[in-house]
Amino acid sequence: MLKEIISKLIFTLIDYHLRTSIGILLLFGTYFLVIRPFFVSPLRNIPGPYWNRVSAFSSLNAQRTNKWIETVYNLHLKYGKVVVLSPYEISVNGSPQYIKDIYVNNFCKGNFYNNFRNHGHDNPFSELKNDTHLKYKRVLMNVYNKTSILSPQNPTRSHLVEAVSKVIRRLRKEQELSENGDIDVYSLFSCLAMDVILAFELGKESGTNLLENPESEEVVHWYRKKDSMGFWTTLMPRFWNLVATKDIKQAVNNIEQWHMNLYSKAERNIDKEKQPQCPSLKVLKLNGFHNKNAYSFITDNIFAGHRTTAIQLTYLCYELSRPTNLKWQNAFKKELVESFGMPSNTESILQDFEIVDKLPVLNALLQENLRVHSSIPGAQPRVVDRKYKIEVQRGDKTNEVLIPKGTTISCLPYAMHRQEEIFESPHSFNPERWLQYEGENAADFKERISKQQRFMMPFGKGIRLCLGMNLALLEIKFTLANLYWHAQSQISDTWCKIEDKTPNGCPIRLGKGNQHMNQTDEEKM
């Protein structure tokens, strides 16, 4: 009898706890899946997919699989100018006012950027506080100033001339050695950019000479392996060691040691630099930044300076080499010959930076490339740190929504650069949009270009504008001008199937994430 009573009591307790547990789960589920996203969340009136309101999982997974840019862009096409990306994050698009509010008026950076510290120290890019960032940036602003770079006394001019001369020689040598004349320009331009940025940061004697020593360019490949871990480095750093392969870990260690060796050499040479324009390392030391504190700044500049420049040059060559853009390659070569005449010999190098800098067709090509193929097309997140209201349109109604402090907010350059009302046929590579149209007066041309520029953000905006922008633009223009002054280019038919489209160009779409799946010159890039 007692046994039956105890047994019944146990089953009653189990049943009670089970019912209670189920009830609690249902309660929590109802709150997190229904009440919070639709009735409590301050972002409840922001359009977007249901699961984005509930969890950051879909956002993180899209970034992990390299589909984030395409995902956010498509969300804007479906839901409008403002979309919810996660329970605490939104993306805005379609108006230059958003760029002004977020980047020019300086919403602060969030903890995401702590993952861009180097050698255990902050740098201008990783620094979260705007006032401290500006303090850091001012130390090097004069070094990166365009007037300073173009000064006849600045050794950067001679460094660029020497580096581009090496590019031309290496192109000829590689073409002679190649069975079909094919050249891997991305690796070539990565070496060029690395040599240039290191001479600028550390001084020529302390830099690299990858262009003439291909066996040393393995550092470029180490960087690519490190780049492949971008998601885990910036968004899931606690899992980095679990995910990284032995090969990637070795590459990261190699990069760290490579940097330390460079800096050790530069420290020995720094007082020997007799140039009127000091390299960045010396400027930093003169302003009280020493050892790894200074190295963090330079490591950041090296990463950004070699990678983004190489990407831009590669895409420019890609576009000019496509059959559909042959007219632009011809127009560019014509502009060069009309400005400088034909090269007197195979070693001739254009050295008039001021003229190259102002060539209309070259500038149109560069602006359109920055629009279509931004080196950093992804979001540049900021954190709302003040009262901020935003207009949200749902159907015929427009509501004003207060975005709470602490919300992550961003513009997606890829989407901003593809506003159809500003850029006609936005997915097509069309440099003509940056030139004066036939019959268009000067005032209308200036107004149109100004309107287009308000939607452009390839180097960021506001006080966080890329420090190395002027050096990068001059390097790209000078390299491209000399390259096409001497040579023509076409896409290798062993790399992809080449489609000869109409002269007006064709849409450039996002690649499929695996280069072996991309079959044509349209899909490849």
466 is known to lie in a ligand binding site? yes
193: amino acid identity, one letter? A
Tokens of 246: 């032995």
DSSP 48: -
Q: 444: helix, coil or strand?
A: helix
The residue written with tokens 């094919």 in the block is: 182
Give the containing element (helix H, strand E) for 92: strand 89-92
CB 87 within 8 A of CB 37: yes
Does residue 108 contact residue 128 with C-beta atoms inside 8 Å?
yes
Q: What is the DSSP letter of 364?
A: H
CB neighbours of residue 439 within 10 Å: 6
Task: Provide CB contacts within 8 A for 337, sequence distance 6+.
Answer: 485
d(CA 391, CA 81): 9
Residue 336 identity = L
- Exposed (0-12), middle (13-18) or buried (19+): which is 489, by Cβ within 10 Å? middle
Q: In what order do the strands lie in the sheet with 82-86?
A: 82-86, 89-92, 408-411, 382-383
**Which three-class secondary structure state does DSSP give residue 121?**
strand
Question: How far is it, in rounded angstroms, from Cα 466 to Cα 459?
Answer: 5
Which of these, 81, 100, 130, lies nearest to 453 by C-alpha position?
100
Owner of token pair 């990858």:
210
Question: What is the pairing mode between strands 89-92 and 408-411?
Answer: parallel
Q: What are phi and psi of 393, to 5 degrees?
A: -100, 130
Strands 382-383 and 388-394: unpaired
CA–CA distance, 130 with 516 (Å, rounded to integer): 43
Residue labelled with tokens 């255990």: 120
Cβ neighbours for 348, distance < 8 A, ≥ 6 positions apart: 485, 486
3-state helix/strand/coil string of 269-334:
HHHHCCCCCCCHHHHHHHCCCCHHHHHHHHHHHHHHHHHHHHHHHHHHHHHHHCHHHHHHHHHHHH
Beta bridge partners of 463: none
**Burial class of residue 121, CB neighbours in 10 A (0-12, 13-18, 19+):** middle
Q: Is 521 helix (H, G, I), strand (E, B) or coil?
A: helix
Cα angle vertex 243, ends 238, 247, to 5°?
125
Q: Which residues participate in the annotated binding site for heme? A: 466
Q: Which residues participate in the annotated binding site? A: 466
